Amino acid sequence: MPEPRHFLTLLDLTAAEARALLKRAIVLKQMRADGVDYRPLKHRTLAMVFEKSSTRTRVSFEAGMVQFGGHALFLSPRDTQLGRGEPIEDSARVLSRMVDAVMIRTFDHDKVERFAAHSRVPVINGLTDRFHPCQLLADMQTYLEHRGDIAGRRVTFIGDGNNMCHSYMNAARLFDFELMVACPEGFDPDADLLAAAGERCTVLRDPLAAAVGADLIVTDVWASMGQESEQDDRATAFAHYCVDEALMARAKPDALFMHCLPAHRGEEVSAGVIDGPQSVVWDEAENRLHAQKALLELLLLGGAAA
């Protein structure tokens, strides 16, 4: 049996594959707009394991599978044996004998790695505490559509050194852009990932300084899923890290604003910015659908089937 192809971090793709995937996502988006009947995953099933909440990830994967002629199964720990302590390795062995791919959203990144190590079928990381690679496919597609190639551009991530920040650090390597990260002390991204990103990534404390000359400004929630009890302390620590009009004014005049959503207006982003002319968050959210369809094609079929 051939080894399945997994997508646990962005670096599971080569740079050439990542670029081809974004182009394919744009083609698939146009095919959908044109009403083309394209069902390359007929009779295929994607199992979606959600140990955290989701709107975009769940709906985009489920709708994408249906549009491709396949089917998606929503599995939560509340009503499967996953929530009653069945080992992840056993769940992987069993699920992967029944379905054609598995998407997992969970806490520890180690869990998706263990699942993948025991799976006969492709495993997709739908967000862990460490990475959110599917979101980056959509973000990179969105930048390409609005501004062209991101290579050589400057991207600024304002906020927590979290899963989104880590995925931007990987994206800087894969897509060859410069990344400035502005975060308060104590909320830095992982040191090993930072070292691996090398000169492409710089961490600053001053959000206004980090925004200077940026082509793209990105932020994310201050308290991620699983950190709800830290919300008040984080709100204090991040008080000066709101992406507002003054911060956007430091970036290039045609800079874009992105946020993976859900957003908290008045916390990490002002209403004026997220609902303003530089914001592309709705295209970004929509592109989850198209980019992940391109990903499913790649992992399940080895690439475009038509």
Catalytic residues: 105, 132, 135, 220, 260, 288
Residues in the chain: 306
170 binds, among ligand NVA, ligand CP, none (CB under 5 to 8 A by kind): none
221 binds, among ligand CP, ligand NVA, none (CB under 5 to 8 A by kind): ligand NVA
| Per-residue binder mask for ligand NVA (CB under 6 A), 84-113, x = binder | ------------------------------
**Residue bearing tokens 């308060």:** 184
Q: How far is the CB of 249 from ligand NVA (least distance, A)?
A: 26
Determine which residue in the list 135, 170, 224, 279 makes contact with ligand CP, applying CB under 6 A: 135
Which span sits near ligand NVA by CB under 6 A: 15-23, 161-169, 251-259, 296-304?
161-169
| Per-residue binder mask for ligand CP (CB under 6 A), 239-268, x = binder | ---------------------xx-------
Residue with smaller CB distance to ligand CP, 194 or 217: 217
Determine which residue in the list 57, 91, 119, 142 makes contact with ligand CP, applying CB under 6 A: 57
- Long-range CB contacts (< 8 A, 24+ apart) of 109-118? 109/8, 112/8, 113/8, 114/88, 114/89, 115/88, 115/89, 115/91, 116/4, 116/6, 116/8, 116/92, 117/89, 117/92, 118/88, 118/89, 118/92, 118/93
258 is an interface residue for ligand NVA by CB under 6 A: no
Which token pair is 251? 């970036």
Q: Which residue is nearest to ligand NVA (CB)?
A: 224
**What is the chain's alpha carbon radius of gyration, rounded to the nearest angstrom?**
19
Q: How far is the CB of 125 from ligand CP (least distance, A)?
A: 11
91 is an interface residue for ligand CP by CB under 6 A: no
225 is an interface residue for ligand NVA by CB under 6 A: yes
56 is an interface residue for ligand CP by CB under 6 A: yes
Residue with smaller CB distance to ligand CP, 111 or 154: 111
Calpha distance 263→164 (Å, rounded): 13
Contact in structure between 44 and 103 (CB atoms under 8 Å) = no
Calpha distance 208→95 (Å, rounded): 48
**C-alpha distances in Å from residue 38, one per residue of 32, 86, 87, 92, 306:** 9, 37, 37, 30, 8
- Reference 134, options 95, 171, 160, 101; nearest CA is 171
Calpha distance 140→131 (Å, rounded): 15
Strands 71-75 and 154-158: unpaired
Contact in structure between 103 and 49 (CB atoms under 8 Å) = yes
Q: How far is the CB of 53 from ligand CP (least distance, A)?
A: 6
Applying CB under 6 A, which residues contact ligand CP? 54-57, 127, 135, 260-261
Applying CB under 6 A, which residues contact ligand NVA? 127, 132, 162-164, 220-221, 224-225, 260
